[in-house]
Structures are given as C-alpha cells and as structure tokens.
Amino acid sequence: MKFAGEIALISGASRGIGAQMARQLAQRGIKVIINYSKNTDAAASLQQEIRREGGECEIMQFNVSDFEETKNAVSNIIEKNKRIDYLVNNAGITADNLILKMGEDEFGRVIDVNLKGAFNCTKHVSKWMIKHKFGVIVNIASVVGLMGNAGQSNYAASKAGLIGFTKSLAKELGSRNIRVNAVAPGFIETEMTEKLNIIQKKSLIGSIALKRLGTTKDVANLVEFLLSENASYITGEVINISGGLYI
C-alpha cells in the first residue's frame, strides 16, 4: 500500500488494537506518535520494540478528554515534526452497568474519553490538515454503536456518537482533501476478552458467523488500508469488522 503522508498520531496506543496499528504503520515507514494516558511502561516497551525493528516512534502522555492538554500536545508534535498526516482516534474505555445502577460519573467518563476525546484530537489536528490540504482520520467505533448492548448504554452512546461525528466530518472536510472514516470492530482478542471464562467465550463465539474472535491484526489491517492511498476515494464510511456478529 502507498502512503502520501509521513506522521501518524494514534490515541490510546500503548496496547491492544492501537499498539498493533502503531507496529504496522511503523513498518510502512511512517513515524508514529503513540499517545497514552497512564501505562508508561507499556508505551515505552512498545517504543523500544518499534525502534528495534527499524521504525520511528515517539510516545506522548496526555489525557485526550482534556481539551487544553490535547491542544498543547498536538502543538508540540507539530512544532517538532512540522506535520500530522494521519490521526487514529483509538482511545476508549468502558464502565459497564445497567442503566438503573449506572452512576453519572460512569456515563460521563466514558463519553469524555471515547467521544469528547475524539473531538479534542480532531479539533486540534484538523487545523494543520486544513492548512496543508491533506489528512486522513480513522475513528475506532464499535459494533455496539450499531447494534447496542445491554449494560453498555454509555459505551454504545459514545460509539454511536463517534459514527455520526465521522459522517459529519467527512462532509465538512472532504473539500480540503481530508478523508474521515470509521471502523466498527466486534469482539477482538485483547486483554479485555482474555478475562472472560471458557463459558463466556464459547457463548460469544457462538454468535459470530466465522466462529472465532477477531485479532488486533485484523483491525489494524483495515485501518492501514483506510489510511493508505488505496482508499483515496473512500470517506464517510463505517466499516463493520466483526466476523459476522453484526450482519
């Protein structure tokens, strides 16, 4: 795949899907900026791994839900690297609970990171993209944002909001040569699914047409494609990558 840009910022990329995206983009010769919130050890370990493989990588700790903190971080990245060509809004958290038990803080915290965090990053990065008339943004949504899930009304709302955010931005920024798409993963093998017991995993797999969980590489491959010039005429799309969980 061909890439027209040089610098990628990936939020929430110290582990899981974000970390795999960082690895693959670095292998393509793109310098990756890995954002993380708390896990310094994981971010530093990933940076060392990427550099050992010959890739370029920086790590930056900032809270995407904080508007000013994100603004300052983006300014520092652009000051040092002169550009941000690709933005992957990957940072996300869960705080599952039934609506009758869900606290205001549980709802607000998820919205702040998953949705407002994407707004904050996009708001500040898109200024550079608009100025230079190039950019690609990929938002990591979820099939839960398409189909809902009991006990995850906060998470579903954040991801559904991200889908609407994606479509609106695609219309708003398209004339500036900026593409905006979203991917909606299903159940992916991460630290979160590793905590499930055998019975829970069997139940999940039974609802998936391909009868397996997805991998972080499955998702990273799709994101890599959407960032590349191979997808130069694709914008405003939400691509479901769930193995047939949501059809």
pLDDT digits (tens, 9 = 90+) for 200-216: 888 889 999 999 999 99
The sign of the torsion formed by the CA atoms of 43, 216, 122, 4 equals positive
Residue 194 confidence class, pLDDT cut points 50, 70, 90: confident
pLDDT of residue 200: 84
| Active-site annotation, residues | 155
80 vs 36: CA distance, rounded Å:
19
Output the CA angle 10-37-164, nearest 5 degrees. Answer: 50
Helix and strand counts by DSSP (H, E) for the chain: 10, 7
- At 149 the pLDDT is 93
Percent of the chain at pLDDT > 70 equals: 100
Contacts of 5 (CB under 8 A, 6+ apart): 30, 83, 85, 86, 134, 135, 136
Contact of 203 with 147, CB cutoff 8 Å: no
- Least confidently predicted of 65-79, 81-95, 130-144, 180-194: 180-194
3.30.950.10, 3.30.70.1140, 3.40.50.720, 3.10.450.50: CATH of 7-241: 3.40.50.720
pLDDT at 174: 98
Three-state DSSP at 171 gives: helix
CA dist list (Å): 96 to 20, 107, 110, 183, 242: 25, 9, 9, 21, 20
**Domains of the chain: which residue ranges?**
7-241
Q: Of the ranges 33-37, 183-187, 193-197, which one carries the lowest mean pLDDT score?
A: 193-197
Contact indicator for 36, 64 with CB cutoff of 8 Å:
no
Whether pLDDT at 242 is above 90: yes
Contact call for residues 78 and 121 (beta carbons, < 8 A):
no
